[in-house]
């Protein structure tokens, strides 16, 4: 099903050619129509593919309406753990995307199996995040408490929609207090993303906040390699496995904008993957091993770009760095 890809380190081209034809140029382009012919189900990442923080991306509303009309199988597979599926669906609908909540799989939903697997049901949890992040934790069986109280589990749901610095400082202080007292605290972040596209620019995502806590923990407790967050969402495979199970077919392709989450995760789950160039990842490094490379690439959801083609490589597109 996957097209043959050239070797990772520049193929047979000389050094000069390798520089003028980055690896991106030899990943074959595709279109939504071609994908619908080839695959039985499509998984979409949300941010950088269908939407940015402030609205829809070009072609997204028409595409979702078309998929609904044609009865296609598709799901949105997102690391966003700040909104439950029904909240997210209402927001997409305000953006003009006729998306039903049952189509939306979030990393927040992974807390249910995670809490069960780690025996966290009934434990005291502090959640940095808006009310929907706390509800994900309650759905998983956690008892949500304020960040300045004793807690057994720290969940980072998001970085906005609550008094971030105040809560983060309080959670850090409670965390240090627990560790100093020799108590175990479980650390988990459903969304490992570091940044997200915000329309006119970018914003920090929950994974960056986890990194911030880990930096503080490493400073105060050097040598405690165990004081790390468990990261649940893409690129880890459970969310892809759930999507494939719901799709009811193995002929599934993932469309995402980030190499490190969407493409890496889809390939690890045995799926083909499309890198769409409307989000975070701007180029695929030439050193990227083949199993992490996208199967296809698209400049955007709307295939109205008349690609110029590379003079020395017909059908391949030079990418300006």
- For the bound state, the minimum distance from the C-beta of residue 152 to Mg ion, rounded and expressed in Å, comes to 32
Phi/psi of residue 308, nearest 5 degrees: -75, -25
Kind plus residue range of the DSSP H or E element containing 189: strand 186-189
Q: Which is nearer to Mg ion, 159 or 257 (CB)?
A: 257
Q: How far is the CB of 163 from Mg ion (least distance, A)?
A: 26
- Residue selected from 45, 80, 132, 159 as contacting Mg ion according to rule CB under 5 A: 45
- Of 142 and 233, CB closest to Mg ion: 233
Question: In angstroms, rounded to a whole number, what is the distance separating the alpha carbons of residues 268 and 249?
Answer: 17
From 10, 22, 48, 192, residue interacting with Mg ion (rule: CB under 5 A) = 48
Neighbours of 65 (CB within 10 A): 14
CB of 18 to Mg ion, least distance (A): 29
- Of the candidate spans 20-28, 154-162, 218-226, 275-283, the one that interacts with Mg ion by CB under 5 A turns out to be 275-283
Ranked by CB distance to Mg ion, the top (closest) residue is 48
Nearer to Mg ion by C-beta: 45 or 158? 45
Find the part of the chain contacting Mg ion (CB under 5 A) among 26-34, 125-133, 135-143, 272-280: 272-280
For the record, the structure tokens of 42 come out as: 């499509």
The set of residues, in sequence order, having a beta carbon less than 8 Å from that of 90 and lying 6+ positions away, is none
How far is it, in rounded angstroms, from Cα 11 to Cα 122?
55
- Residue (132 or 257) nearer to Mg ion, CB: 257
Write down the least CB distance from residue 284 to Mg ion, Å. 15
> In this complex, which beta carbon is closest to Mg ion, that of residue 47 or of residue 240?
47
Q: Which residues pair with 104 in a beta bridge?
A: 76
Give min distance, CB of 190 to Mg ion, in A: 15
Minimum CB distance to Mg ion, residue 229 (Å) = 20
From candidates 27, 39, 44, 47, binder to Mg ion by CB under 5 A: 47
Our finding on whether 272 is near Mg ion (CB under 5 A) is no
DSSP SS3 for 155: strand
Contact 278, 57 (CB under 8 A): yes
Rounded Cα gap, residues 53 and 104, in angstroms? 17
Closest distance to Mg ion from the beta carbon of 279 (Å): 5
Alpha-carbon span 188 to 130, nearest angstrom: 16
Neighbours of 268 (CB within 10 A): 16
Q: Single out the residue of 257, 264, 297, 298 in contact with Mg ion (rule: CB under 5 A).
A: 257
In the chain, alpha helices (H): 15-20, 32-38, 60-69, 85-94, 111-117, 131-139, 164-180, 206-220, 238-247, 264-268
Nearer to Mg ion, 190 or 279 (CB): 279
Q: Is there binding between residue 294 and Mg ion (CB under 5 A)?
A: no
Report yes or no: 155 and 130 within 8 Å, Cβ to Cβ. Answer: no
Sign for the CA dihedral angle at 48, 201, 160, 235 comes to positive
Piece of 113-121, 173-181, 252-260, 309-317 that binds Mg ion (CB under 5 A) = 252-260
Closest to Mg ion by CB, 158 or 257: 257
Site size with Mg ion, rule: CB under 5 A:
5
Nearer to Mg ion (CB atom), residue 262 or residue 272: 262
d(CA 168, CA 102): 32
Contact positions vs Mg ion (CB under 5 A): 45, 47-48, 257, 279
């Amino acid at each position: 099903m996957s097209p043959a890809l050239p070797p990772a380190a520049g193929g047979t081209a000389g050094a000069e050619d390798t520089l003028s034809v980055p690896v991106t140029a030899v990943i074959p382009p595709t279109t939504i129509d071609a994908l619908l012919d080839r695959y039985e189900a499509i998984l979409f990442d949300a941010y950088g593919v269908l939407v940015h923080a402030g609205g829809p991306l070009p072609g997204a509303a028409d595409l979702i309406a078309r998929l609904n009309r044609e009865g296609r199988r598709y799901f949105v597979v997102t690391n966003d753990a700040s909104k439950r599926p029904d909240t997210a669906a209402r927001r997409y609908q305000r953006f003009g995307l006729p998306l039903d909540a049952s189509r939306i799989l979030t990393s927040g939903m992974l807390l249910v199996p995670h809490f069960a697997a780690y025996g966290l049901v009934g434990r005291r949890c502090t959640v940095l995040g808006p009310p929907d992040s706390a509800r994900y934790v309650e759905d998983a069986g956690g008892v949500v408490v304020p960040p300045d109280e004793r807690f057994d589990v720290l969940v980072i749901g998001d970085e906005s929609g609550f008094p971030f610095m105040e809560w983060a400082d309080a959670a850090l202080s409670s965390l240090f207090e627990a560790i100093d007292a020799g108590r175990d605290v479980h650390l988990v972040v459903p969304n490992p993303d570091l940044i997200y596209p915000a329309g006119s620019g970018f914003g920090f995502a929950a994974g960056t906040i986890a990194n911030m806590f880990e930096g503080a923990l490493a400073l105060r407790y050097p040598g405690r390699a165990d004081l790390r967050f468990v990261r649940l969402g893409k690129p880890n495979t459970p969310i892809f496995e759930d999507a494939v199970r719901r799709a009811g077919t193995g002929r599934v392709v993932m469309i995402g904008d980030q190499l490190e989450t969407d493409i890496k995760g889809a390939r690890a789950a045995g799926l083909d993957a499309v890198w769409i160039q409307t989000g975070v990842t701007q180029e695929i490094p030439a050193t990227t091993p083949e199993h992490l490379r996208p199967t296809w690439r698209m400049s955007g959801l709307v295939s109205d770009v008349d690609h110029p083609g590379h003079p020395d490589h017909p059908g391949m597109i030079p990418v300006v760095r």
